[in-house]
Chains A and B, each alone.
Chain A
Amino acid sequence: MTSTVVTERSDDRRRGDGADPARTGGPRNGPPALSRGTVLATRVVGVAAVVGVAFTVWLGLWVTPPDKVQGNLVRLVYIHPGVAWVALYLAFGLAAVASLLYLWPRTRSLFWDRLAAAAVEVGVVFNVCTLISGSIWGRPTWGVWWAWDARLTSTAALLVLFLGYMALRRVPAEPEVRAKRSAFAALFAALDVPIVHFSVVWWKTLHQGATVLNANLSPTIHGSMAWTLLLGFVALTLVFVWMLLVRYRIGVLEDWVGSGELDLALRERQAEGIAPPTASAVVLPGPPVPSETPAGREVPREIAEVAQ
């Protein structure tokens, strides 16, 4: 418990230091830094995503006409396929490719592992949004919230596979072990996706066919509706990329905290003369451990009192 308190306090002080290491290019004792380009790219994508979504909402709710058959329900089409595209193809595809690249010895790097993890997590959010928006459309159209239709079922199956991956990732382990395990899990799940899909398609289907990317690639909707639909795809893809960048960054920081926290706490205790110097505190290798000299840090007041 005490060590947690100490760490939180030192975090507070680091923030109070003035310059945020993440912004200024990173002194050695701060968290791993982002390059200026990455920060800028994240912001640009974020702003573009917000603008894109705002335009999609405006076009979808006010500019486009209601459909002859479906009325205002048709407006869900500007969101639902875009969300599904991100969840089912972009996120999962990226996770599978990144996991493969991690497993391939020549390209093995924690970058791919974190990218896969970020893609899965954001993919889960989009997958749930797909199911929810689909349900909202399905209730008035099909008369049921949920139908055991092929696409619905495979989407739900994909969600469960994604969740399994996340559960496996939450098991505490060294970053390398966790990365390997997760990459294998992603690979097995990815291999399963086409089989699940075929089995469910044969099992039952009543979903309407693809609207934009149908076999002869001629969209079956026109005019402002088609453009809004397209914009929805672009905007949601941007949202995905932005969330991915942010989640990746959090992943890096999580690993940094995970590896440095104990060491930092030990150093604090040693500075107070409470904990004996340990070999691990001296030779701990690896990720950017905050390497402040104990003397350079103030001892929190309560701790100092206890030490006396």
Chain B
Amino acid sequence: MWRDAALVAGKDLRIEARSKVALSQVAPFGIVALGLFAFALGPARAPMVSGAPGLFWVAVLFSTVLAIQRSVSVESADGARDGLRLSGLDPAGLFLGKALAVAAQLVVLELVLTVGVVLLYGAAVKTVWLIAAACLLGTVGLAAAGTLYGALSAGIRVRETLLPFLLLPVVTPILLAGTRIWQAGLAGGTPSDATPWLHLLLAFDAVYLAVGVVVYGPIQEAT
């Protein structure tokens, strides 16, 4: 399973390294979103700083939808989906690989957005490990749930419009938890402020990773 996951993740990341779609489109989209939020709330610093955690996570969520669309569309051309099924790779490995590739791209994106939030909104990061933990756990959950919904909508022609509607409500707990942990991280709060939220993210990750490992195969057969 893990070997298969590494293979699939390697493949997706290689495609990304060659096509640079995430780098040239998804990341800039995130920055544009940050700019739009600034126009909506600014130019005073205070509302931007207080809104920074939420705005960061909303930008991440929107970018996730794009990253997932990309991850699905990579498989939709040239019968790649059937090829993957024929390859004999473990479906669980396939799921983990796809999710891992998305997660890797999202982590890079979050780094860019964090720098953007600090530079553009003037937010100061006080507790770095809280910020990092929120990003890491949130990313795993987003990638897992996103990959599942991506697979579910894979064969559907109206995927582009359907996927955000299906995925975004499901990942709202990540937005809530991520925002609260970031608030603690930016304000220099104690870890105890953030502990329940970290647990919530852990639970979300565990649930969607476990479900994905179990049902990814049947979903592929279904669509």
Residue numbers of A with Cβ under 8 A of B are: 103, 157, 160-161, 163-164, 167-168, 171, 177, 180-181, 184-185, 187-189, 191-192, 195-196, 198-200, 202-203
| Nearest CB in chain B: distance from A153 CB, A | 9
Please classify how large the interface on chain B is, using the bins under 10, 10 to 19, 20 to 34, 35 or more.
Answer: 20 to 34
Decide: A180 near B222, CB < 8 A? Known: A157-B172, A189-B170, A192-B170.
Answer: yes
List the B side residues contacting A185 at CB < 8 Å: 152, 166
Interface-located stretch among B16-24, B37-45, B211-219: B211-219
Interface contact A199-B200, CB-CB below 8 Å: yes
Query: DSSP class of A's interface residues: helix, strand, loop or mixed?
Result: helix
List the B side residues contacting A161 at CB < 8 Å: 169-170
Give complex CA distance A218, B165 in Å.
41
| Nearest CB in chain B: distance from A280 CB, A | 22
Decide: A184 near B222, CB < 8 A? Known: A168-B162, A195-B200, A202-B197.
Answer: yes
Interface contact B223-A199, CB-CB below 8 Å: no
- Other-chain residue from B149, B170, B177, B223 in contact with A177 (beta carbon distance below 8 A): B223
Decide: A184 near B169, CB < 8 A? Known: A103-B218, A195-B203, A203-B176.
Answer: no
Give complex CA distance A157, B153 in Å.
21
| Nearest CB in chain B: distance from A160 CB, A | 4
| Nearest CB in chain A: distance from B114 CB, A | 22
- Other-chain residue from B157, B166, B204 in contact with A195 (beta carbon distance below 8 A): B204
In the A-B complex, the 3 residue pairs with the closest CB atoms: A180-B222, A199-B173, A160-B169
Interface contact B173-A195, CB-CB below 8 Å: yes
8 contacts between A and B (CB under 8 A): A157-B169, A168-B166, A171-B162, A180-B218, A181-B222, A184-B215, A185-B152, A191-B208
Chain B, range 55-95, C-beta contacts under 8 Å to A: none
Chain B, range 144-182, C-beta contacts under 8 Å to A: 145, 148-149, 152-153, 156-158, 162, 165-166, 169-170, 172-173, 176-177, 180
Interface contact B165-A164, CB-CB below 8 Å: yes
- Other-chain residue from A160, A188, A199, A203 in contact with B211 (beta carbon distance below 8 A): A188
Give complex CA distance A157, B145 in Å.
17
List the A side residues contacting B222 at CB < 8 Å: 177, 180-181, 184
Interface contact B152-A184, CB-CB below 8 Å: yes
- Other-chain residue from A167, A184, A199 in contact with B172 (beta carbon distance below 8 A): A199
List the B side residues contacting A163 at CB < 8 Å: 165
Give complex CA distance A164, B158 in Å.
13
Give complex CA distance A200, B200 in Å.
11
B207 part of interface (Cβ distance < 8 Å): yes
List the B side residues contacting A195 at CB < 8 Å: 173, 200, 203-204, 207
Give complex CA distance A160, B158 in Å.
18
List the A side residues contacting B191 at CB < 8 Å: none
Interface contact B166-A191, CB-CB below 8 Å: no
Interface contact B152-A164, CB-CB below 8 Å: no
| Nearest CB in chain A: distance from B53 CB, A | 13
B47 part of interface (Cβ distance < 8 Å): no
List the A side residues contacting B165 at CB < 8 Å: 163-164, 167
Query: Which partner residue on chain B sits nearest A196 by CB separation?
Result: B173
| Nearest CB in chain A: distance from B143 CB, A | 15
Interface contact B148-A188, CB-CB below 8 Å: yes
Interface contact A188-B149, CB-CB below 8 Å: yes
Query: Which partner residue on chain A sits nearest B203 by CB separation?
Result: A195
List the A side residues contacting B219 at CB < 8 Å: 180, 184
